[in-house]
Amino acid sequence: MSAQLRQDDDEPKLQDAKDEEANRLLQPQSLSLSSAWDDDDEVAFEAREKILIAEDVDSIDAVDDNSTAVPPFSWKKLWLFTGPGFLMSIAFLDPGNLEGDLQSGAIAGYSLLWLLMWATAMGLLVQLLSARVGVATGRHLAELCREEYPKWAALVLWFMAELALIGADIQEVIGSAIAIQILSHGVLPLWAGVLITALDCFIFLFLENYGVRKLEAVFAVLIATMGLSFAWMFVDTKPSGKELLMGILVPRLSSKTIRQAVGVVGCVIMPHNVFLHSALVQSRNIDPNKKGRVQEALNYYSIESSIALFISFMINLFVTTVFAKGFYGTKQANSIGLVNAGQYLQDKYGGGLYPILYIWGIGLLAAGQSSTITGTYAGQFIMGGFLNLRLKKWLRALITRSFAIVPTIVVAIIFNRSEALLDVLNEWLNVLQSIQIPFALIPLLTLVSKEQVMGVFKIGPVLERVAWTVAALVMVINGYLLLDFFISEVNGLLFALLVCSGTAAYITFIVYLVSHSGALPSTFFSSLSKKFADAGN
């Protein structure tokens, strides 16, 4: 009897203990790897900012810390994971990319659409690897670089990442300013548009206070605005469906379109975007100690990123085909740039109920505003990760924004009077971006291939070879762009000496990064040196 009473008394206690454990598991919690750093190190998102991926209690109990079992697919969970990939995809739609699209269409017609598709696929691979690093380690790429490399090398990588970000931001802000000039019917000059665009820093801070999902919703609206604007232009101009399909399915390349082909590939991978995506995926509360949960998150992020980049590909395709239909083979083809593209469209297709000039301006404004805000976001993570700064978000955003806005205002004032000068500036900024690509790609591939960093989530040998091949291809293509640009632009002995010295230092640092990687290229270099040694003997 007494034993029965004791059992009856113990049952509520056992039930309370189970309820308490279930509640503890369901509560938002910081990542176990991150918790040790919260007091000392910068983190991408505080625990209170992370989005809780709600789980069924039985499902949680079924997946222990060491389990590799992946929970079944859920549309609700896919929706909860949706967001980071779309923020990342903005870099594929910034004004610099749009200018590359319109010039590709005007000069090469439909012939480079296949390259645009495969370049987007290569960009997707790089971004998925970036997301993999962030989810599996609970840290973003800038933080990991700070620990992986000696202090001097990490500082060089930070400096290069900041340069890439400033170059991208100048293009994005100028693109927004051009759109504002179009929509104001020329009343607001370029420098005024730059100042208006600078205010997006405060918009970003305001939205961030309301949570990550609100910020992601705003970007969804901006991407939808771009999609609708450029789709409207696509339908309005009635491009050739047959030529479009031929351009996508049949690879074609001629000596006259090499420069545009290089531009299509070169502008797809943005250095700051590689850093950004590894941080954005940490906005969801995923415990990296639960292997099944990490794999689940990687699966959902892969789906979400693929959808986001498919949408970005369609938007880029719309822009390319509109200008291919309107200007391929015309006298204006070689003179079209971001500054005069709207007016050329207006002259070609006229007004109508909704003048195409203003439709173009709306799409360009959405592209510029969204990309400048993501640039501010990326700047926070890059600065905080490399320098381990524990600053207030508003202060860090203000600092990173000032890095880009101050030079952009100077550029706007100097270049405001000449469209030709703005086109030259854009070429130099594209070169600046191209130079920085190895300093994002090589560290990413180094880290994602390391078992000490990634554990069981390091990429396999086949994917590693594919990733290094893509990286090598992108770097060689950008190297061609740099060589072609410097041959045509570098004049004077002193300037040539400076460029050669800088190039030597640049190549030396890339060789250092590759040799430090311990991945596929290291094996290649050691086998190559062995061949040289054998040849010498």
pLDDT tens, position by position, 443-458? 999 999 998 989 899 9
| 517: Cα separation from own chain's centroid | 22
Reported confidence tier of residue 149, pLDDT bands at 50, 70, 90: very high
Position 532 scores a pLDDT of 42
Q: Which residues pair with 51 in a beta bridge?
A: 284
Residue ranges making up the domain that contains 158: 76-442
The answer to the question of residue 59 being in a domain is no
Instruction: Please tell me whether residue 337 adopts helix, strand or coil conformation.
Output: coil
Give the pLDDT band of residue 306 (cuts 50, 70, 90).
Answer: very high
Residue 284 belongs to some domain of the structure: yes
User: What is the mean pLDDT of the segment spanning 240-255?
Assistant: 87
Read off the CATH number of the domain in which 143 is found.
Answer: 1.10.4160.10
Model pLDDT, residue 62: 47
Question: Closest by alpha carbon to 156, among 506, 499, 410, 397?
Answer: 506
pLDDT of residue 33: 35
- The C-alpha atoms of residue 15 and residue 371 are separated, in whole angstroms, by 51
The pLDDT of 38-45, averaged and rounded, is 57
Domain for residue 95, yes or no?
yes
Q: DSSP letter string over 149-194? A: S-HHHHHHHHHHHHHHHHHHHHHHHHHHHHHHHHHTTT-S-HHHHH
Domain count, the chain: 1
More confident residue, 120 or 426: 120
The model carries a pTM of 0.83
Average pLDDT over residues 355-373: 88
Question: Residue 29 domain-assigned?
Answer: no
Q: What distance in Å separates the CA atoms of residue 471 and residue 384, rounded to the nearest whole number?
A: 26
* 468, part of any domain: no
Decide if 469 is inside a domain.
no
Residue 16 lies in a domain: no
In a domain, 478, yes or no: no
Is 340's pLDDT higher than 80?
yes
